[in-house]
Each structure stands twice: as C-alpha cells, then as structure tokens.
Amino acid sequence: MDSTIIDDAIAYAQELFRTNAGGHDAEHTMRVYRNTLRIAEAEPDCDVRIAALAALLHDVDDHKLFATVDNANARAFLKSHELPQETIERICGIINSVSFSRNKDRRPSTAEGKVVQDADRLDALGAVGAARTFAYGGEHGRPMDDSIRHFYDKLLHLKSLMNTETGRRMAEKRHAFLEAFLKEYIAETS
C-alpha cells in the first residue's frame, strides 16, 4: 500500500468536512485517527495501516452528513488509490462496524474494527465529547436539555462498551469528566 495514501486520506477528509461545525469535522477525524494509532500500538493483531485508513474514512459516508449508499465516498477514494477489492471491502467493513447509532452495543469482529470503534467512541467522551454534543445540538436547533439527555442516552454508556484495554483506560478519565460536568450543570441549573 502506497505510503502517500494516508496523507491523501487526511487531505480528503479535511476537504469533505471543511464546512462542518457540528462535531463531525476534520478535527474529529484527526482525533479518531490519532486515538487509533495510540490504541493499535498495544494490539499486536491489528493491521495499523488498515485501521488508520478506516479511521480517516470512518465518517465520509456518515448518514447524518451524506446521502451516499454503500460507502460510496470511501470506496471512490480507495479505488482511486488502486487498492485490491478485498482490501476495500475490509476497510468498508470496519467503517460499517464503528457507528454507535448503527451498532449500539455490537462489537466488531476484527482487531482493526475494535480499535477504530474505541477511537471514535473516545472522541464522544471527556471535554471534547461534551463540546461536540453541544455543537451538534446547536447545529440542529436542539435546546441544551436535549443535549444533556444525550449524555444519559449514549455518552455515559460508552466506557463500558470499550473493546480494548487501552481504550478502557483512556475512557476512564474522560468518563469521570462527563460525570463531573453533569454534576456541575445540574447544580447550576437547579
């Protein structure tokens, strides 16, 4: 696999998310990518390059952002780099296993899928996760209380859904921040 494909995937994601300000932006993609690399270091069965590409492309066909079918954006990018069909299917399979809204508590079957899912879920925790929740809520005209409800419906469950030991350790501090944030929010709004 050509070493420039990672740089090209970064540029592709940055271009696609250039105008997004609702929490699914290029910065989110880059945080998921960096989390993927960090978690993958501790997972000997993980093909880091495959996981990295899946992380960089994990939102390029997100149903909340794009009206694509069958990972059309990811597939077009991967085909343009002349990857074998088997590799394209593997990466798209990982991408399809990441989304919380589509997978809930289902765990990916591959090491790469587990790593990327943990990396994406980590970005929904902590200070960044709280900020993303309110950015998304504001972009969609939701009152703050609806965004707070999202903490209880999704964010506070993520720590227990981590697949890897590294993901679990990274989630601990971020989960604690969310709990402290909610405690303070409730105190200030009661």
pLDDT band, residue 187 (cuts 50/70/90): very high
CB 158 within 8 A of CB 175: yes
Annotation: CATH topology of 4-189: Hypothetical protein af1432 (1.10.3210)
pLDDT over threshold 70, residue 23: no
The set of long-range contacts for 160-164, using a CB threshold of 8 Å and a minimum separation of 24, is 161/105, 161/107, 161/121, 162/118, 162/121, 163/107, 163/108, 163/114, 163/115, 163/117, 163/118, 164/39, 164/42, 164/43, 164/114, 164/115, 164/118
pLDDT band, residue 106 (cuts 50/70/90): confident
pLDDT over threshold 80, residue 36: yes
- Give me the pLDDT at residue 62, please: 81
- Give me the pLDDT at residue 16, please: 87
Per-residue pLDDT averaged across 88-99, rounded? 92
For 149-168, write each residue's pLDDT tens digit. 999 999 999 999 999 999 99
Delimit the domains of the chain by residue range.
Answer: 4-189
Who has greater pLDDT, 34 or 66? 34
